[in-house]
């Protein structure tokens, strides 16, 4: 049996779901993978919940639900530093779940770098640090002999990168197309059912699918970030966000919508990887799909990705829970796979 210390950074929707999933799967992980998962530190922006001696996250969860605030706990240490946490228990995995900041990757980038330097593996749901410096983080991980896994930031419960890197190993992926953002797919689905853009957007917001600030979704930034991360991880390219040709769904000409509806086609926002020789091109484009396309039936908040390969033909994955619990499960999957590979 191996004891795995986990430091959770960011206890919002995904972080809390992660604590719950770890708690629920603790015995399962022990039995099937011989991994004894512990969460000795949970960081918010103001301090940390520190319980290095808690045997499992039971104690933490009891206090987290339903109305727990960190500050009420005897384990709460305001201003507690990452440096202290990283050096006070054996290095395991730092699970990074702070908000995605695609401008400079902070605060996650600094935290991840420091954790790697002190021997911690990383799993993250956060696109920000990866969009800003994926190549640098991979290099740092290699130098410090730790692993960085990013399923949570590249489709979460929908396996994208694992399919490309493991299931399609040895093939040449010369093209890939993904519906990678549930909010835009929901809006487009409702528009094809007759709503105008503003009505579909409002509905998505009322249902809690879209954030109040939807620009990252509807202007294609989220899809662009994910397709960038997948491409850089698969091909080892050092492409940047500004290399992705990008469009959103905010101003779809009425005639395109009408024409698609009339011909039984579907409108989708696709993240695309187009490889020609050594050259890799990335784009996010509003695309008109006919019924023969493998992603034609991926509707609502569902996501999907198709890889086109030389020897295995095309392979499509669809589905995956599109919510914090699905993202949390993707983080746990990455932790398990880190130790399987080691
Ligand atoms: N929601 C999903 O379904 C989903 C799915 C896949 C990926 N993701 C990604 O997962 C990440 C988390 O998403 P979320 O929905 O959980 O967001 P959220 O609810 O806003 O949670 C983020 C948490 O990070 C904390 N935080 C901010 N700065 C921090 C710092 N310096 N140190 C420690 N904690 C800090 C915030 O709490 P305080 O400010 O109170 O400290 C907040 O609780 C994002 O990057 C998101 O893009 C989300």
Mean pLDDT of 132-150: 98
Residue of 99, 130, 156 to mutate, ligand 1, most atoms within 8 A of C-beta:
99
pLDDT of residue 121: 98
CATH architecture type of domain 2-157+324-341:
3-Layer(aba) Sandwich (3.40)
Which residues form the pocket of ligand 1, taking CB atoms under 6 Å from any ligand atom? 9-15, 43-46, 97-100, 107, 125-126, 152, 156, 323-324, 327
Q: How far is the CA of 13 from the centre of ligand 1 (A)?
A: 7
Name the segment(s) of the chain with CATH classification 3.30.360.10.
Answer: 161-318
Residue of 15, 19, 21, 98 to mutate, ligand 1, most atoms within 8 A of C-beta:
98
pLDDT of residue 52: 81
What atom in ligand 1 is closest to the CA of residue 14?
A: 16
| Protein residue with least CA distance to atom 18, ligand 1 | 12
d(CA 267, CA 254): 12
SS3 93: strand
Among the listed residues 226, 257, 265, 333, the single catalytic one is 226
Determine the angle formed by the axes of helices 182-192 and 197-206, rounding to 10 degrees: 130
Mean pLDDT of 216-229: 97
Q: 161-318: what CATH class?
A: alpha beta
As a whole number, the mean pLDDT across the chain is 93
| Protein residue with least CA distance to atom 19, ligand 1 | 12
Q: How far is the CA of 14 from the centre of ligand 1 (A)?
A: 7
Looking at the chain, the whole-number percentage of residues with pLDDT higher than 70 is: 94
Q: Is 264 left (phi over 0), alpha (psi -120 to 50) or beta?
A: left
Q: How far is the CA of 256 from the centre of ligand 1 (A)?
A: 37
pLDDT of residue 57: 60
CA torsion through residues 319, 159, 3, 118, sign? negative
Please provide the size of the chain in residues.
Answer: 342
Residue of 7, 8, 9, 10 to mutate, ligand 1, most atoms within 8 A of C-beta:
10
Q: 56-97, pLDDT tens digit by residue?
A: 566 666 666 555 566 677 788 999 999 999 999 999 999 999
Active site residue 226: yes
| Protein residue with least CA distance to atom 31, ligand 1 | 45
| Protein residue with least CA distance to atom 21, ligand 1 | 12
Q: Where are the alpha helices (DSSP H) in 4-45?
A: 13-24, 26-33
- Its pTM surpasses 0.85: yes
> Residue 6 pLDDT more than 80?
yes
| Protein residue with least CA distance to atom 25, ligand 1 | 10
User: Which residue's structure tokens are 């009425």?
Assistant: 254
CA torsion through residues 227, 233, 235, 240, sign? positive
Mean pLDDT of 192-197: 94
Q: How far is the CA of 10 from the centre of ligand 1 (A)?
A: 5
Give residue 262's pLDDT band: very low, low, confident or very high (50, 70, 90).
confident
The string of DSSP codes covering 115-168 is HHHTT-EEEE--SHHHHHHHHHHHHHHHHTT--EE-GGGTTTTS-SHHIIIIIT
What atom in ligand 1 is closest to the CA of residue 156?
A: 6
Q: How far is the CA of 180 from the centre of ligand 1 (A)?
A: 19
Q: How far is the CA of 126 from the centre of ligand 1 (A)?
A: 8
* Half-sphere exposure (Cβ direction) of 70: Cα atoms closer than 13 Å: 20
Name the segment(s) of the chain with CATH classification 3.40.50.720.
Answer: 2-157+324-341
Give residue 150's pLDDT band: very low, low, confident or very high (50, 70, 90).
very high
pLDDT of residue 342: 81
* Opening angle at CA 173, ends 169 and 174, nearest 5: 165
């Amino acid at each position: 049996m191996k004891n795995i210390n986990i430091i959770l950074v960011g206890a919002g929707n995904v972080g809390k779901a992660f604590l719950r999933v770890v708690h629920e799967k603790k015995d399962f992980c022990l039995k099937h993978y011989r991994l004894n998962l512990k969460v000795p530190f949970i960081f918010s922006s103001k301090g940390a919940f520190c319980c290095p001696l808690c045997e499992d996250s039971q104690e933490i969860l009891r206090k987290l639900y339903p109305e727990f605030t960190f500050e009420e706990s005897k384990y709460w240490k305001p201003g507690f530093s990452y440096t202290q946490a990283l050096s006070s228990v054996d290095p395991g995995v730092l699970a990074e779940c702070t908000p995605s900041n695609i401008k400079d990757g902070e605060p996650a980038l600094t935290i991840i770098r420091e954790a790697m330097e002190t021997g911690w593996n990383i799993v993250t749901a956060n696109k920000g640090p990866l969009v800003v410096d994926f190549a640098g983080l991979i290099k740092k991980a290699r130098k410090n002999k730790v692993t960085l896994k990013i399923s949570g930031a590249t489709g979460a419960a929908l396996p994208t990168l694992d399919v490309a890197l493991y299931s399609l190993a040895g093939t040449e992926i010369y093209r890939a197309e993904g519906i990678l953002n549930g909010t835009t797919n929901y809006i487009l689905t409702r528009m094809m059912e007759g709503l105008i853009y503003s009505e579909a957007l409002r509905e998505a917001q009322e249902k809690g699918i879209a954030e109040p600030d939807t620009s990252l979704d509807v202007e294609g930034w989220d899809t662009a970030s994910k397709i960038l991360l997948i491409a850089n991880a698969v091909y080892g390219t050092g492409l940047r966000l500004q290399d992705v040709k990008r469009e959103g769904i905010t101003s779809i000409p009425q005639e395109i919508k009408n024409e698609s509806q009339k011909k039984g086609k579907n409108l989708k926002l696709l993240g695309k990887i187009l490889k020609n020789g050594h050259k890799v091109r990335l784009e996010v484009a509003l695309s008109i799909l006919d019924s023969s396309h493998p992603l034609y039936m991926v509707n609502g908040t569902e996501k999907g990705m198709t890889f086109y390969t030389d020897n295995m033909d095309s392979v499509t994955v669809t589905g995956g829970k599109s919510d914090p619990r699905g993202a949390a499960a993707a983080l746990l999957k990455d932790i398990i796979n880190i130790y399987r590979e080691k």
